[in-house]
Amino acid sequence: MHRLRLLGNYAGKLCTERSSAPAIHRASIHAGRHALVYGDDVAAARRNGLPIVALESTIVTHGMPYPDNLNTALRVENAIRKQGVVPATIGIIDGKIHIGLNNEQLKILSKADPTRTTKCSRRDISSIVSRKLNGGTTVSATMLIAHAADIPIMATGGIGGVHRGAELTFDVSADLTELGRTPVAVVCSGVKSILDIGRTLEYLETQGVPVIKIGETLEFPAFYCSETVDKVKAPCRVSNAKEAAALLEAQRALGINTGVLFAVSIPEEHALQPVIVESAISEALRKANSMNVTGKRVTPFLLSELNEITSGQSLEANIALVENNARIAAEIASNLISNETSRRAFCTGSAPARSILSKRKPVVVGGAVLDTVLQVKEPRINNDGRTHAGRSRHSCGGVGRNVADALIKLGMENTRLISVVGHDEYGKIILEGLGAGGKTVKRMSDVNTARFTVIVDVNGECYFNVSEMESFAAIAPELIKERQSHLEEASIIVLDGNTPLDTMRCVLDIASQANVPVWYEPTDVRLAAKIFEAGARWKNVLHFVSPNLNELKAIGEYLDISVGGTESLATARGISERLVEHEHVPVVIATLGSQGVVVRVAEFSSREAAPRTLLIYRPFSLAFHFSQVTRKASQSEPFYDESGRLVAGSSIASRLYPVADHAKSSEILSVSGCGDCLAAGIICGIHRNLDESGCVSLALKTAALSLSSLDAVPQTLAELSSDNQL
């Protein structure tokens, strides 16, 4: 609410007059847009209004040796993705301007001979394109191209500037003039230390470029160092990315068409001492002069010499500062998108999210497997080739199939599973078990149905497993496009972690365009963060994630979220609170074995959508006596309101959900489908518009029935589909 009030003074004017502001360069480059090639992630982000950060590529072509350059480029992109933002590394390959280089293209530029690859500034673009050559884009070229692609912010290590001795050589980087005429923000660690920092700031002042330090002091950074030798001050300061985004919004609202330079100090643990760096620079400059190194060759030569003089310390510092700058740029980009969304809602009124209750048609995308349990009757399994007496049992499994089957048995007959099975007997068994829900499963003659075989001893302890999951690769984007209409009409889409990454991207794109919420089941600790690796697509549509504790830790590690302590409940709470704090995921459902149910909600303005974090600790063992719920909404309220928005309240309450006495005494026969049935119980409860208490109660009942059955999804779930059981 406060943010909307602050924007209110000029939001209406911005909404009605933004289109009339001068668009420098965009029209002038329009005729050459046929040469722009967008990467898949960037193209999807542009379609869906997701935040993007541009990255220059001279750090790949001329900034570092191979493989440091490639590894750094990948680390920098990953730092951006961890913030839920799409990285767009810009470079020129065979005369095509790529906005969003893929890994293979990055490798091409990283291995290219720097003497034969152009360090491409604004003046070089047309020449490189016309001659179909390769080029690494400098800050100035990256700004120009990013502006043509409507990307408002980029990250780099340090910008070019006024060279030492420029009063004689007139050597001034084109980065400075580009900042004076192209409205793209640049996040950097100031000016490269090899340049004249004081004169560079004077030049930027003449160009009318705002220079903003992000941090708690006005000390202007000196690339490898957190401050200059003579302690040069920045003219302005903001404390964090949110304030930086607000400043950019004000710049745009006023129609000021210069760039903005955001200066970020290198992380303290990687910073070098200014005196040591200055001495190394002097030595490198003397060598450059003696070898008559001039023009574009100066900067890469000096950086290489510095790395040698400092025994690699300058390279390590360079990598650390670039990665940090990218992370902060991503935070600013996220705030820009958030502000834009709020302002659009304030000006015109945003359409409510599509109601999950409007159609009872969940769609599940994931694996379908035939499980086989081989139990040896003898007291000891000998690994010497002998034959053991035993018995076997077959059942249908796979996370995606289990969730779909459980939903169908709970009375949601419109549920559909999108998966692949072979044209074999096992595939036939799986399809027969799903009934109408299996109509969207594709049978393929050139694949075998996925199988999972487990060998257990006489006591039921697992000896080893054999998996045959090659068919998962056939759940490809082409299949998703064939089934696209089902996804577009879905009330919710459930994705399991066995789905290939490209397929996930395709599903998330469709979900975003159709405004359908997504539930992600990580499936395995190695796959826990997979959906976050798909770029920023998840940002707008992901409502639920249901990991176990180890998978939750893996997600936290991927997103750079760590908490102290070893106690499982405290760890889960800590990671989930951080997820709420950074607004990564609205709802987290974590399994902790014998723990209960805890619902926690972030605090949101009443004018905004209200994501929340729900922690459900699944009862893999029923040796507990209650489930506890804490959230900023009454237990009598549903998870979604009638317009499809997640519900949040104003006060925190803690509630207990006792486990039924008969469930506590039930014999546990199998845990394989417990979590899948619990997830289905929550989804079914949401569709029935049950309140929080009802959803959790139904979920615990479904989990208990699964535990007491040899089948992952027991037939007894159908007993819960009648209203008097809910």
C-alpha span between 515 and 492 (Å, rounded)? 10
Q: Quick one: how many helices (H) and strands (E) in the chain?
A: 25, 27
Residue 13, CA distances (Å) to 9, 19, 347, 584 in order: 8, 11, 9, 31
Give residue 53's identity as a one-letter amino acid code. V
Helix (H, G, I), strand (E, B) or coil at 453: strand
Length of the chain: 726
243 is catalytic: no
Structure tokens given for 469: 């999951």
Query: What one-character-per-residue DSSP string does 70-128 give?
Result: HHHHHHHHHHHHTTT-EEEEEEEETTEEEES--HHHHHHHHHS-TTTSEEE-GGGHHHH
Query: Kindly report the CA angle at 258 between 255 and 264, in degrees rounded to 5?
Result: 120
Ramachandran angles phi, psi of 215, nearest 5°: 155, -170
Give residue 309's identity as a one-letter amino acid code. I
Exactly one of 82, 119, 192, 409 is catalytic; name it. 192
| Among candidate residues 71, 35, 297, the one with its CA nearest the CA of residue 149 | 35
Structure tokens given for 60: 């790949």
**Cβ–Cβ < 8 Å for 189, 234:** no
* Side-chain-facing half-sphere of 676: CA atoms under 13 Å: 34
Structure tokens given for 329: 């740029």
Q: State the residue for tokens 């996804």.
A: 487
Cα-based torsion angle of the residue sequence 61, 166, 318, 312 in order, rounded to the nearest 10 degrees: 90
305 is catalytic: no
Exactly one of 56, 227, 305, 692 is catalytic; name it. 56
Asked if omega into 67 is within 30° of 0 (cis), the reply is yes
H helices of 470-618, where?
A: 477-482, 484-488, 501-514, 538-541, 549-558, 568-581
Ramachandran angles phi, psi of 399, nearest 5°: -55, -50
| Among candidate residues 184, 187, 185, 211, the one with its CA nearest the CA of residue 197 | 211
C-alpha span between 544 and 588 (Å, rounded)? 6
Give the E-state strand segments of 311-461 in sequence order: 362-365, 369-376, 390-397, 416-418, 420-422, 442-444, 450-456
DSSP letter (8 states) at residue 258 = S
C-alpha span between 126 and 144 (Å, rounded)? 12
Interacting residues of 454 by C-beta distance below 8 A, sequence separation 6+: 371, 372, 373, 374, 462, 464, 465, 466
Helix (H, G, I), strand (E, B) or coil at 683: helix
Ramachandran angles phi, psi of 76, nearest 5°: -65, -45
Give residue 121's identity as a one-letter amino acid code. S
Structure tokens given for 550: 């180890």
C-alpha span between 194 and 174 (Å, rounded)? 16
Ramachandran angles phi, psi of 124, nearest 5°: -95, -10
How are the residues of the chain apportioned to helix, strand and coil, as percentages rounded to the nearest 5?
Answer: 45, 20, 35
Active site residues: 56, 192
